[in-house]
Amino acid sequence: MQKIVMAKAIYHICIFPYYHIAFHLIFAVMIAFVRGSFVQKTPAVVHVDVNGVGYEVQISLNTYSSIEHLQQGLLHTYLHIREDAQVLYGFFDVKEKELFVQLIAVNGIGAATARVMLSSMKPTEISRAIVQGNVKLLESIKGIGKKTAERVVLELRDKLSKQVNDLNIAALAGNTLEQDALNALLALGIGRQAAEQAVKKVLTASPASEKVEDIIKQALKIL
């Protein structure tokens, strides 16, 4: 009898806690996405009905703007496990989810802070700010101090560089005028980052521009 009691004690003290943790970790990996009806939506939370089961999913403003007028859809999810709670975060775009996961891996960035970042700026804007080392812009986000912003840049800059370059290439591929103007500025010896920013400013201010030479002239004035 004493041996049985001792065995139970060992199980509860030494084995059960790790089994409990392992179960939740496996559970976290399993929930890759939820697809269903958006029963209730706010800028911070959405309730998703999946075959009669309701999931409360925390979202960013960026995701809310994408699903605001949708009655149903798919959200890529991340189950964040804390000692006192299990919180399910959802993202309309898988790229936003990937950036969220990268952000919370940085010391000093919790899930709540990462959501604030994704609510304050678009994922592409955050990625570019990190790659460009724009600490001031990151500091402008609520909850992000100078040291944290510098740490984010230090830890994620290299990881995000290729993603940002791919986004730039994809954006240019659909706009021949923009690409031609950018290539011309690069040929004139203008740095890629400055040239891209100048061309985008011109096209934003004058989206109806039809002549590449006009775009180049306006861009040079900005530079």
Average pLDDT over the chain, rounded to an integer: 82
**Percent of the chain topping pLDDT 90:** 47
Query: Measuring CA to CA, which residue among 172, 163, 3 is closest to residue 99?
Result: 163
Residue bearing the bigger pLDDT, 164 or 128: 128
Residue 181 predicted with pLDDT over 60 = yes
* Inter-residue contact 88 to 75 (CB < 8 Å): no
Model pLDDT, residue 164: 59
Rounded to an integer, the average pLDDT of 103-119 is 94
Which pLDDT does position 60 carry in this prediction?
Answer: 93
| Confidence (pLDDT) at 16 | 44
The average pLDDT across 130-146 equals: 91
Tokens of 214: 């006009």
Among left, alpha and beta (phi > 0; psi -120 to 50; other), residue 55 is beta
CA atoms within 13 A on the CB side of 27: 12
Q: What is the pLDDT of residue 223?
A: 82
Is 88's pLDDT higher than 90?
yes
pLDDT tens digits along 142-161: 889 999 999 999 999 888 88
pLDDT of residue 111: 94
pLDDT at 105: 95
Residues 90, 222: Cα–Cα separation, whole Å: 40
Burial of 104 (0-12, 13-18, 19+ CB in 10 A): middle
Digit-coded pLDDT (tens) for 19-58: 444 444 444 456 889 999 999 999 899 999 999 999 999 9
User: Could you tell me where the DSSP H helices lie in 80-174?
Assistant: 94-104, 111-120, 123-131, 135-139, 146-173
Q: What is the structure's pLDDT at 199?
A: 87
